[in-house]
Chain A
Amino acid sequence: MSTAIETHELSKRYRRVRALTECTVTVPEGRVSALLGPNGAGKTTLLRMLAGLASPTGGTAAVLGGAPRQAPAFLADIGFLAQEIPLYRRFTAEDHIRIGAHMNPRWDSSSVRTRLTELRIPLDQRLGTLSGGQRAQVALALTLAKRPRLLLLDEPVAALDPLARRNFLATLTSAAADAADGLTVVLSSHLVTDLERVCDHMILLTGSRVQLCGDIDTLLAEHKVLVGPKGAARIDQAHKVVQTVETASLSTLLVRLNGPVIDPAYQTEDVTFEELVLAYLGADEAPAGKHLTTVGEDS
């Protein structure tokens, strides 16, 4: 299978701030990838560079076989939906459909009309009068009408209520399934459970660097939770300890395995997607891992 996105040490600096540092990721074609990370980790920067809206200050990126650039042929393949759901509030959905028809080579007006009619969103009302969830649906429908090969969505569900979020993600998954020639999606969000439902691939950024990138099932299989007596063995010599939680007598470690765990003192458990994500996000806040000691020790 060919790759939709391949970056090599992609970096972006804004004056003194490092927005993204040596980011090396690969997303195969046809996958739905979750882009995770705390605010300021570089998610938006990465998406904008992939969309050809920002140029890197270091490294390289290949998107659908070429470097992201301001060229009509490249832009036609990218469906980019920015964080703020940008739409003209004084224009109607129909106005946007007509603008899109004038600005894109293979625009599918009828798909937008069908989708919005199904969702009972009026086509002839100013978008400023619609709810946030309806606007997000309009924006997604317009992005899909472009018939992109790569869909880059920057926190599109952040401002939506749970029902609107579910509808939005349902539209997204059905579009990804319907796309005949393999639509690749990268979706950034803070909502881990939403992402788990729709994604099969993940990229996790903290502090402008990539911590994890790969197939979610493979990554879950590579990580285990080990529970054992406090300080029993030097697990970190053989495996990479991501997170340590210690109580008075027990330590619970989330590790990335480097082979089987031989020490019989440890009990091995599978990790969930949420545990995996939280462990890596937490590891960023407390790099030593020791600060995560629970209150049990004090009492």
Chain B
Amino acid sequence: MTWLVWRQYRAQGAIAFALLAAFAAVMLAGGLQIASHWHSMLAACSGHRACLQQQPPLASSEVVDALLLLGLIVPAVLGVLWGAPLVAHELESRTSDFAWAQSVTRTRWLTVKVGWLLLAAAACGGLIAALVTWWSGPDNALQANAFRPGQFDIQGIVPIGYAVFAMALGIAAGTVTRRTLPAITVALGGFIALRLVIDDFVRPHSRRRSRPTTT
């Protein structure tokens, strides 16, 4: 069963690997630069909080926006694009009848496929999260805050949640609609709507609640 999943998704796996490698290279290069900048800043201010607060932020808002796009939106879109056909395309092209004619129950077929894809999404999300969290370390320390708008969404376990959620949403939409294209439309629409709701309504609320404790 695992071999079937590997055979079906190895092209996507190669693309994801290439994208992750490129992303990691950019983040490592940028991160090392920021770290050395941070160390010279620390040396210049000799660790004084007030002096450090006068310094410009290490991560400009343009860079954070770019990271949001690369570390969150791109993986989510890919998750939807690759999750939606998992069931839908098999039903559309009737290849499900080939898989179900083997000595494997339909429950196991679905469990193994969904399991591997969600695991892959979690792994990708995890790698992105680790890179961005490390990259953001100096800036978090400078601002003494890891919960600023944008920043929070690409650090810690949040990217893992988004990647797994996007993949699961794609798979679920494909299973319900049984058609690949409508499933992609529904899942992308759903993801964008949810992202807007979180960004515009949920996050401001949690920021307001957490302000007294973080500053």
A residues apposed to B, CB below 8 Å: 51, 53, 70-73, 75-76, 78-82, 84, 86-89, 91, 95-96, 98-100, 102-105, 139, 143, 146
Contacts and interface: CB of A to CB of B under 8 A. Distances in A.
Contacts of A79: 101
Chain B at the A interface: SS class: helix
Contacts of A96: 98
B9 to A, nearest CB: 12
A144 to B, nearest CB: 12
B2 A102 contact: yes
A72 B104 contact: yes
Interface of B: 1-4, 7-8, 93-107
A103 B106 CA distance: 12
Contacts, number: 71
29 contacts: A51-B101, A53-B97, A53-B100, A72-B103, A73-B103, A75-B101, A75-B102, A75-B103, A80-B101, A82-B94, A84-B94, A86-B93, A86-B94, A86-B97, A86-B98, A87-B95, A87-B98, A89-B93, A91-B7, A96-B98, A99-B3, A100-B102, A102-B4, A103-B1, A103-B99, A103-B103, A103-B104, A143-B101, A146-B102
A109 B101 CA distance: 16
A80 B104 CA distance: 13
B73 to A, nearest CB: 28
Contact of A70 (B4, B94, B107): B107
Nearest to A143: B101
Contacts of B4: 99, 102-103
Contacts of B101: 51, 75, 78-82, 86, 143, 146
B92 to A, nearest CB: 11
Given A78-B101, A102-B1, A103-B103, 20 more contacts: A53-B100, A70-B105, A75-B105, A76-B103, A79-B101, A80-B97, A80-B101, A86-B97, A86-B101, A91-B7, A95-B7, A98-B7, A99-B7, A99-B102, A100-B102, A103-B4, A103-B102, A104-B102, A139-B98, A146-B102
Contact of A82 (B3, B7, B97, B107): B97
Nearest to B98: A86
Nearest to B3: A102
Contacts of B107: 70
Nearest to B108: A72
